[in-house]
Structure 1
Amino acid sequence: MSNYSIKDLEQLSGIKAHTLRIWEQRYDILKPDRTDTNIRTYDDKDLKLVLNISLLKDHGYKISEISKMSSDEMSKEVMIISDKQLNYPDQIHALTIAMLDLDEERFEKIVSTNTLQFGFENMMTNIIYPFLSRIGTLWITGSIGPAQEHFISNLIRQKLIVAIDGQLPSLRQGAKKYLLYLPEGEMHEISLLFANYIIRSRQNKVIYLGQSLPFNELAFAYGVHKPDVIFTVITSVPSQNEIQKYVYKLGKEFPDSRILLTGYQIVGQDIDCPDNVEIITQIKHLMEIASA
């Protein structure tokens, strides 16, 4: 079971720490434990409770009404709201709860409803991508464990693979050839899969090499296919003290390709890029390139 500070709850729910303290004092709606120095600490149950309260409040329920609900009544009301048209932050809250509870049925319902309403690409861009950022925050703070992270990541991965398989294989006039891969040791594949979807949906050719590709194998595929564009996502590997050398190596070894880089180790870092290397800071930038 995870422990959260009141600041953690504020960051994850969007509800101010001051408001959480008032709810505790006035409505007895939260019952945090206290450390020896009288600092409040919260558990998984408290986090889910606050996320549910936030969702209900945003849809017109008064805190005085919510405080009188049992856990079952509150969950029932949240499920009713989830069946209606929700805004993006509401959906991200709902996905967070589904992840914490390892609730596949709820995940399926949220994703299916939003895909029908907004389309798959908009659902990914406006809901799944911000949700993945939240997962990163939860992971860093120790708020979720490997089981929860693997559970939700694999469900998202499955959705992406189905969406990619459902695309027509036709190429447009002037289509480019893209080679997609992750560096050796890099296993975070969701962003690469979504890039695959985006590029294919704009009727370009994709050579998808997937996770953890040794550099010599990348060079081999480059020699076979002579891609117009090489795209990769660098989240954790290579490390910060190796990343600049790796970027220089990409630019030098593949001079005839446009090389697109993104990921935590790249975006916002002080990376010097060779002329044929470009950093993608937003998914919309990749969409524009693939459409050009």
Structure 2
Amino acid sequence: MSTYSIRDLEQLSGIKAHTLRIWEQRYAILSPDRTDTNIRTYGDDDLKRVLNISLLKDHGYKISEIAKLSSDELNREVVKISERQLNYPDQIHALTISMLDLSEERFEKIISANIAQSGFENTMVNIIYPFLSRIGTLWVTGSIGPAQEHFITNLIRQKIIVAIDGLRGTPDKPGKTYMLFLPEGEFHEISLLFAHYIIRSRSNKVIYLGQNLPLNELVFAHQIHQPDYIFTVLTSVPANHEVQPFVNRMAKAFPNSQILLTGYQVVGQDIETPGNTAIINQINELMRISSN
């Protein structure tokens, strides 16, 4: 069972901590434990209840009415709303609950309905990416365990792979050639897979080398394919002090290719980019480049 602070509940639900305390005192909608120093702590059931309450409030329910509902009644009301077309924050709340419950069925229902209505790319940009950002917050605060994080990210990974497989084969005259990889020690593959989808869907050729690739192997593959672009995501490696040397080494090793970098280690950081290197700050920048 995970443990959350009231600030965690505020960040994940959008309901202010002050409001949660008032509801707790007035309606007893939450049942926190307390530490030896009298600090409130909350469990998975409290988080799911707050997320469900947030969803009902956004759809016109009054807190005084919600407080009278049992857990089963609350869940039934949420299911009724979920059968309608939800807005993006509602979808993200619903995905968070499916992750906490390890519910593949609920995940599948939410994502399949969105793909059918809005298409795969819009679903990724408007729902999955903000949801992954929420997972990051939960992971950093220790609010979810490895089982929950692995469960949901593997479901997302499967969806992207299916979408890639659903694209038509390489066009007779593809636009550009892109080589995609993650550096040695990097295993966060979802952004790289989605980049694969974006680039392929715009009639380009992709050489996908995947996770944890030593630089000498990238040099070997580059010599064979001579790609126009090299794309990578730097999330956890290299270490902060090694990022600039890594960027410089990439630029020098592949002077005839345009190198595209994204990820936590480069976006918003003070990284100097050599002439054949660019940092992708937002996914729509990659969409624009790969459409040219």
TM-score norm. by structure 1 comes to 0.98
Look up the match of 1:239: 239
Look up the match of 2:254: 254
1:108-123 matches, cutoff 5 A? 108-123=108-123
Q: What CA distance in whole angstroms lies between the structure 2 residues aligned with 1:78 and 1:133?
A: 23
Look up the match of 1:144: 144
Check whether the contact 1:172–1:203 (CA below 8 A) recurs between aligned residues. no
Cα deviation digits, residues 139-184 of structure 1 (max 9, x gap)? 0000000000000000000000000000012437560000000001
Structure 1: gaps of 5 or more residues: none
Look up the match of 2:5: 5
Q: Residue 84 of structure 1: SS of its match in structure 2?
A: coil
Look up the match of 2:215: 215
Q: How many residues align?
A: 292
1:10-25 matches, cutoff 5 A? 10-25=10-25
RMSD: 1.1
Q: What CA distance in whole angstroms lies between the structure 2 residues aligned with 1:288 and 1:272?
A: 22
Q: Residue 184 of structure 1: SS of its match in structure 2?
A: coil
Q: Which amino acid is 2:190 matched to? A: I
Q: What CA distance in whole angstroms lies between the structure 1 residues aligned with 2:171 and 2:179?
A: 15
Cα deviation digits, residues 59-99 of structure 1 (max 9, x gap)? 11111111111111111211221121111000000000000
TM-score norm. by structure 2 comes to 0.98
Look up the match of 1:101: 101
Check whether the contact 2:174–2:203 (CA below 8 A) recurs between aligned residues. no
Q: Which amino acid is 2:64 matched to? A: S
Cα deviation digits, residues 201-252 of structure 1 (max 9, x gap)? 0010000000111101000000000000000001111111211111000000
* 1:36 partnered with 2:36: yes
Look up the match of 1:156: 156
Check whether the contact 1:280–1:286 (CA below 8 A) recurs between aligned residues. yes
Q: Percent identity?
A: 74
Q: What CA distance in whole angstroms lies between the structure 1 residues aligned with 2:140 and 2:9?
A: 14
Q: Which amino acid is 1:106 matched to? A: R
Look up the match of 2:230: 230
Q: What CA distance in whole angstroms lies between the structure 2 residues aligned with 1:23 and 1:172?
A: 62
Look up the match of 2:47: 47
Q: What CA distance in whole angstroms lies between the structure 2 residues aligned with 1:233 and 1:79?
A: 37
Q: What CA distance in whole angstroms lies between the structure 1 residues aligned with 2:66 and 2:200?
A: 46
Q: What CA distance in whole angstroms lies between the structure 1 residues aligned with 2:113 and 2:60?
A: 22
Check whether the contact 1:181–1:210 (CA below 8 A) recurs between aligned residues. yes
* Divergent runs of 4+, >6 A: none
Deviates further, 4-13 or 102-111: 4-13
